[in-house]
């Protein structure tokens, strides 16, 4: 009897696993081509507000690659993932440096790539646990295999959180500076990128000393990356 029950449980687990793999692949293929009008993090924020008895209007508007400021593209790469063009979803060198720094007594810092953050924001929930990290890794592998780098960055810039209820570059540009995503200046872009580690706690309009120093550093890194030449490397399949 126990053997029959175990066989059935394993069979159902295999079926569920196969269904998850097939559906997730199909979903990632679909989202390579269609605009993304929402994300799991947006849904999570709405649920959090609802359970707290609060209202949280979501500010979000999809903008295609051509309508996103090149300054913003470079600023986010400079701030979050300077090896974005060359890694395959996981920056092993950065992960090793973070681990070694933590062993030497420093606070364990994040080493998530833009690809990992896109997978997390689009498909998963916030927080830290091994189950979520495992599913995040699976979706990271999928988008790296099925999307060009340009698409990954395009989706990331359109769904990343920039303040309470503010998601994506268009909403952030309007919220902080009163300009569209394509009109963001280098300074605007660097300040937006500077607050990404703490988007609901820091302000791009009135940056404190730490955010201002970080934005200045980001602008220097943008120039070091090589400007438009770096972005051209992202367009290939």
* Mean pLDDT computed over 191-200: 95
pLDDT in tens, 62-98: 999 999 999 999 999 999 999 999 898 887 776 666 5
Residue 162 host element (H or E): strand 161-163
Tell whether domain 38-232 is in CATH 1.10.3810.10.
yes
Letter string b/e over residues 70-83, b meaning 16 or more CB atoms within 10 A of that residue's CB: bbbbbbbbbbbbbe
pLDDT at residue 116 tops 60: yes
Question: Which of 69-73, 131-135, 176-180, 188-192 comes out lowest in average pLDDT?
Answer: 131-135
- Give the start-to-end residue ranges of the domains of the chain: 1-31, 38-232
At 1, is the pLDDT very low, low, confident or very high (cuts 50, 70, 90)? low
Q: Is 224 left (phi over 0), alpha (psi -120 to 50) or beta?
A: alpha
- Tokens 């009897």 sit at which residue? 1
pLDDT at residue 106 tops 50: no
pLDDT for the residue numbered 203 = 93
pLDDT at residue 100 tops 60: no
pLDDT in tens, 126-162: 777 788 888 999 999 999 999 999 999 999 999 999 9
pLDDT in tens, 14-61: 888 888 889 999 999 999 999 999 999 999 999 999 998 888 999 999
DSSP string covering 101-129: HHHTTPPPPP---HHHHHHHHHHS-SS--
């Amino acid at each position: 009897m126990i053997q029959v029950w175990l066989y059935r449980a394993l069979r159902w687990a295999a079926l569920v696993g196969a269904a998850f793999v097939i559906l997730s692949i199909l979903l990632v293929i679909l989202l390579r081509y269609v605009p993304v009008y929402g994300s799991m993090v947006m849904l999570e924020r709405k649920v959090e507000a609802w359970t707290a008895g609060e209202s949280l209007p979501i500010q979000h508007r999809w903008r295609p690659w051509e309508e996103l400021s090149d300054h913003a593209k470079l600023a986010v790469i400079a701030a979050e993932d300077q090896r974005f063009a060359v890694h395959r979803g996981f920056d092993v060198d950065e992960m090793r440096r973070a681990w070694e720094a933590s062993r030497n007594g420093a606070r364990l810092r994040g080493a998530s790539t833009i690809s990992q953050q896109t997978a997390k924001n689009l498909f998963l929930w916030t927080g830290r646990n091994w189950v979520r990290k495992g599913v995040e890794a699976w979706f990271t592998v999928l988008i790296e295999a099925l999307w060009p780098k340009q698409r990954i960055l395009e989706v990331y810039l359109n769904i990343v959180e920039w303040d309470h209820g503010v998601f994506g570059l268009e909403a952030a540009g309007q919220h902080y500076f009163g300009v569209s995503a394509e009109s963001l200046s280098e300074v605007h872009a660097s300040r937006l990128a500077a607050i990404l580690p703490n988007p609901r706690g820091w302000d791009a309009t009135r940056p404190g000393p730490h955010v201002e120093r970080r934005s200045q550093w980001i602008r220097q890194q943008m120039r070091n990356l090589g400007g438009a030449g770096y972005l051209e490397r992202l367009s290939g399949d």
